[in-house]
Amino acid sequence: MAEGTLWAFATVFGAGVLTSLTPCVYPMIPITVSIFGAREARSRGSAFLLATFYVLGIALMYSCLGVLAALGGWMAGNVLSSPWFVVPLALFFVALATSMFGLWEIRLPFWLQNRMANVGGRGFLGAFAMGLVGGVLIAPCTGPVLAGILGYVASTRNVLMGGALLFTYALGIGVLFWVIATFAVSLPKSGPWMDGVKSVLGIALLAAALFYLQNVEVHLAQYAGTSWLFAGVNLGLVAVGVLLGAVHLTLHQGWLKVVRKVLGVLLVSVGLFGLVNFVLAPSIKLPWIHDEPRALALAREQGKPVLIDFWAKSCVPCRVMEKEVLSHPAVLRHLVDRFVLLKVDVDQDMDRGGKVRKKYRSTKLPELVLLDPTGKEVARAGKVESVTEMLVMLLPLTKD
């Protein structure tokens, strides 16, 4: 679990750095730093602090968005199984991706840009205020990436992690601000390489669209595997797509290169989607029962306790916990031999799943509930972080 969380933070930090290299953000960096740096800073240390307050302003704004997205996930998590929500969400991601490929642009009204550019003042508070509005001014490039991260945060339904991930994303954006403010480094000139950066971010959005669509499209849901062959095939798709021109070509270079670009983007997006499912797929399938009355009857008949896993395909932490904790050999030998395993999929069976959640007062995902053979609750836990934590939870019911 810790490894999966670390990868999530590393990914959004990298996305922040890439976002800072896009045409909406990159040209602003030396200009912004020179404005408050020349006006206020008397040393490299003070310039670094001014840049820090500026980045913290951006981070605060984005962290609030992360918290709101996570709260929204808590309040409306089940809609991720509804085609009426998932399909428009996926189409929204596709539309944002096409903006990253240069088919259209997201622009703030000119009058709003001018008004917000005048917000600020002297000193650290002035830099902080500039950062707050700077997060909006760079929206044309952060918007598509930000929407993708917020979609992920909503699926985790974790308020603390939501705020922390968006804070980390803002820190990634701020790296070049710090470097220039502290060392007065000359950045490379803007150029075609920025289109490559935008293409990478656009492909990530398309892969995210496929990830959410698998909640309502059975063929996409079946596109998963645990073998290294499956991983190798998808790595091959990514490699072929990149070679065709998914990243370095644009949609404004003649029809042949457009065809290569589109085909390459599709191959890379499918390959990334497959790799994500490969990473999240448990290596061993547990013998889950999906019917609560049957599970309770079996527990009474065999004198076994029950482990209830409230789960959803759209809940990434749920899938990570099943792969890294519940399927671990040390946990597996206890679960298979000594427990009746009940999985409540709140996405695929909202009506029945909702009733079971209400019965057991489940309010978050992931959530595990332990019952004794009579159906009495013994323990419960949310996101279990480690195998040791899981074994400690099971210990009272695994003694002979």
Q: Beta strand 340-345 with 306-311: parallel, antiparallel or unpaired?
A: parallel
Asked whether residue 287 is domain-assigned, the answer is no
Residues 168 and 251 in one domain: no
Averaged pLDDT, 35-52:
66
Residues 241 and 374 in one domain: no
Predicted local distance difference test score (pLDDT) of residue 111: 45
In this structure, of 82-86, 249-253, 342-346, 350-354, the range with the lowest mean pLDDT score is 350-354
pLDDT higher for 2 or 300? 300
Check whether 123 has a pLDDT greater than 70: no
Residues 30 and 174 in one domain: yes
Residues 70 and 191 in one domain: yes
Asked whether residue 63 is domain-assigned, the answer is yes
Residues 249 and 384 in one domain: no
Averaged pLDDT, 38-48:
63
Residues 366 and 385 in one domain: yes
Residues 269 and 296 in one domain: no
Which domain does 25 fall in, by range? 2-206
Q: 206, 236, 266 — which closes off a domain?
A: 206
Check whether 366 has a pLDDT greater than 70: yes
In which band, very low, low, confident or very high, does the pLDDT at 107 lie, cut at 50, 70 and 90? Answer: low
Residues 94 and 240 in one domain: no
Asked whether residue 218 is domain-assigned, the answer is no
In which band, very low, low, confident or very high, does the pLDDT at 391 lie, cut at 50, 70 and 90? Answer: confident
Residues 93 and 26 in one domain: yes
Of 12-26, 67-81, 167-181, the range with the highest mean pLDDT is 167-181
Asked whether residue 216 is domain-assigned, the answer is no
Asked whether residue 152 is domain-assigned, the answer is yes
pLDDT higher for 144 or 334? 334
Q: Domain count for the chain, please give it.
A: 3
Residues 175 and 94 in one domain: yes
Distance CA 313, CA 317 (A): 10
Predicted local distance difference test score (pLDDT) of residue 269: 95
pLDDT higher for 272 or 71? 272
Residues 27 and 171 in one domain: yes
Averaged pLDDT, 221-236:
89
Predicted local distance difference test score (pLDDT) of residue 393: 85
Domain with 383 in it: what CATH number? 3.40.30.10
Asked whether residue 332 is domain-assigned, the answer is yes
In which band, very low, low, confident or very high, does the pLDDT at 190 lie, cut at 50, 70 and 90? Answer: low
Instruction: Write the pLDDT tens digit of every residue in 142-172.
Output: 666 777 777 777 766 677 888 888 898 888 8
The fraction of the chain above a pLDDT of 70, given in percent, is: 73
Check whether 77 has a pLDDT greater than 70: no
Residues 231 and 307 in one domain: no
